[in-house]
Structure 1
Amino acid sequence: MTKFSAILLLLISLSLNAKVAYVALGDYRVEYELRGDSKATLLLEAGGSAGLEDWNPIYDRLTSEYRTLRYSRIGNGGSTAVRKNYSSEEYADEALALLDALNIDGPVIYIAHSYGAYIARTFAARYPEKVAALMLIEPASEHDVDIMRQIDLAKAEQEIAEVKRDDMKNGMSNQYLDFWAKRPLPDHPEIADIPVTVIASIKRYENPPLLFYTDKARVMWGELHRDWALAFPQGKIVLTDKSYHFPQRDEPEMVLEEIKALVQRTTKSK
């Protein structure tokens, strides 16, 4: 790498980092980025152990049209590092505290990926007045383990135990103990009658790493989210076979079009 190239990369990095800010929520520092201008505010919730970079493929495009907030949950990204078992309820309260700290009063269009979608569902159920619409992208579900058990109970129990051990080894067991172990199943029927879009992948894997990624499970996964989304009077399901777990990365144009359509539906429903 030439000296000029190194300097250019450093300047680009500094420029990107300059857009990221931090806010204190209790004893923790939370990394966030808020850009754009519109009546509607989009709140982006990252998946699993991801930070706000989860939304890099579409964030700039979104901020050119909408006021868009993305952030890294405590323990992720550039936010305060912790080793603690969090629940979706705690994370939902953290999201509310962030909105309050940034003086975002109106209901948001909540867009969430993977485990973040579980948090978004919890948030929408606990604080319905704060959510104008909901988009769940490849949403984690408490029914994941049920799909695996229906295919092969013995193998499913072995794989579930292995995943939990790996998760706890990393110090953040919320992703699995939070919703895989919850019974009765919190399907969140108390979510208000709002526009809802679910984007789920049914693309097949050549070498499935778990039962959950087998062809049979892919079909059941699509049916699960279709039924959940269409139970809402304003629900919409988008099943894709062109991307795996990251449609916002593999099919950014599709995701952007669905967000635009959701914003339009939200505006009309008011």
Structure 2
Amino acid sequence: MKRFVNVFGKELEVMTKGEHGFPIVILTGMGCAFDEWHEVSEKLSKANRVILYHRPGIGRSELNEGKRNTEATVRELRELLDVLQITEPFVLLGHSYGGLCAQHFAKRYPNDVAALILIDSTSHDLDRLDTLDLPVMNDLSSDEDWLKQCQDYAERTETELTELIQPTLAPNQSKLPVDVQAELKGFVCRPNLYKAMLAEVESWYDDARLIKRLGNLSTTPLYVIGRDADFEVDRGKADGLPESELRILEGTWGQLIREQTILSADSRLVIAEQASHAIHLDRPDVIISVVEECLSRLKPSRQFE
């Protein structure tokens, strides 16, 4: 069920599925729609309560004028959970930039998080990616080019964006229900999406340094799911990118993913074979399996609370 929830005076678009069972909160990646999580949320909601929402400016959530950083996301999520009357510890999933936000939340409110699942998550050492020697890849598509495009899109109308982008779906998005596909096409044509992304990018290096300073998670159960490096290299080669640079990028990204297991003394690393960064689309079964394994560990302990 989709609805709007007032959080600090702004309406956030929220989707909840399932009425009983363990609460599961999913934080999506930067510029990503929660509709993409259809298969994961449908399966998990059969026995659990699944909560997804769009951060301010994303989807149909109102854009606020405040600073868009992970601290703001932590505050908003804490307030949203209060409004939804989620009072018990929950399983927190975070994908990509949403994983960075999830790390921040878990460190701020360790007693609220029964377990943390990071899905190809942005690292608190993300600046290490900027030191890589990737001349061909950077020349074809640099961060500066992407930011300029976001700025251009942020200044256009929804009608202009629809005509300019002429949105199409990735193969795995095309397998989703027709109504979900329609939502995804409209999602990328809203100028506030690009305003929100620009605002989040502006702060993410400072966010990462702060999150790193907050330390580790002690013994919070932690699952780290990473993408398939060879799969990503093959995809990049098919697009004409040099294998040598792809190997450098995937080697560093993979190392950052593996290092996230150090955040907790109770951690497990899972590599999603045949999956790109969009693991929730390529291998939703892997995410579902990890969550179910996590819940099987947590539920027995609740019997004695």
Question: Are residues 1:256 and 2:288 paired?
Answer: yes
Q: State yes or no: 1:239 paired with 2:271.
A: yes
Tell me, what secondary structure is at the counterpart of 2:211? coil
Letter in 2 for 1:171: K
**Alignment check: 8 A CA contact 1:145 1:160 kept:** no
- Provide the residue aligned with 1:98 in structure 2: 80
* 1:220 corresponding residue in structure 2: 252
**SS at structure 2 position matched to 1:214:** helix
Q: Give the conservation status (yes or no) of the 8 Å contact 2:132–2:249.
A: no
1:123-153, CA deviations, whole angstroms, 9 ceiling, x for partnerless residues? 1111111111101111122433313413359
Find the counterpart in structure 1 of residue 39 from structure 2.
57
Structure 2 counterpart of 1:89, one-letter code: E
5+ residue gaps in structure 1? Answer: 1-18
Match of 1:145 in 2: 127
1:30-82 superposed Cα distances (whole Å, 9 cap, x missing partner): 11122324442101111112232131122111110211111111111121145
Moved more, 59-68 or 92-101: 59-68
Q: Work out whether residues 132 and 248 of structure 2, in 8 Å CA contact, stay in contact via their aligned partners in 1.
A: no
Q: 1:75 aligns with which of 46, 57, 75?
A: 57
Equivalent residue number for residue 217 of structure 2 = 191
CA distance in structure 1 between the aligned counterparts of 2:76 and 2:241, rounded to whole angstroms:
33
Moved more, 166-175 or 126-135: 166-175
| 1:159 aligned to which of 120, 125, 142 | 142
SS of the aligned residue for 2:105 comes to helix
Give the 3 Å change call, closer, same or farther, for CA 147–100 of structure 1 in structure 2: same
* Aligned with 2:113 (options 111, 131, 154): 131
| C-alpha distance in structure 1 between counterparts of 2:127 and 2:39, whole Å | 30
Structure 1 residue 209, shift from structure 2 partner: 7.0
SS at 1:47 equivalent = coil
Give the aligned residue type for 1:257.
S
Cα separation, 2, equivalents of 1:44 and 1:30: 15
**Alignment check: 8 A CA contact 1:196 1:234 kept:** yes
Q: Is the 8 A contact 1:230 1:236 kept in 2?
A: no
Calculate the TM-score normalised by the size of structure 1. Answer: 0.81
Q: 1:33 aligns with which of 15, 18, 31?
A: 15
CA contact (8 A) 1:164 1:177 kept: no
Given that residues 75 and 83 in structure 1 are in contact (C-alpha distance below 8 angstroms), is that contact kept between their aligned partners in structure 2? no
SS at match of 2:297: helix
Larger mean CA deviation between 113-122 and 167-176 belongs to 167-176
The residue aligned with 1:12 is none
Matched, 1:89 2:115: no
Once residues 269 and 21 of structure 1 are traced to their aligned partners in structure 2, the CA distance between those partners, rounded to angstroms, is 33
In the alignment, the residues of structure 1 paired with residue 56 and residue 242 of structure 2 have an alpha-carbon distance, to the nearest angstrom, of 29
Does the 8 A contact of 1:84 with 1:171 survive in 2? no
CA distance in structure 1 between the aligned counterparts of 2:14 and 2:37, rounded to whole angstroms:
12
Contact residue 120 and residue 257 of structure 2 kept, 8 A: no
Q: Is the helix fraction higher in 1 or 2?
A: 2
Report the alpha carbon displacement of residue 175 of structure 1 after superposing the two structures with TM.
Answer: 3.5
Please tell me whether the aligned partners of residues 111 and 135 of structure 1 are also in contact (alpha carbons under 8 angstroms). yes
When normalised by structure 2's length, the TM-score is 0.73
Structure number with higher relative contact order (C-alpha < 8 Å, ≥ 6 residues apart):
2
Q: Provide the rounded CA distance (Å) in 2 between the counterparts of 1:240 and 1:171.
A: 32
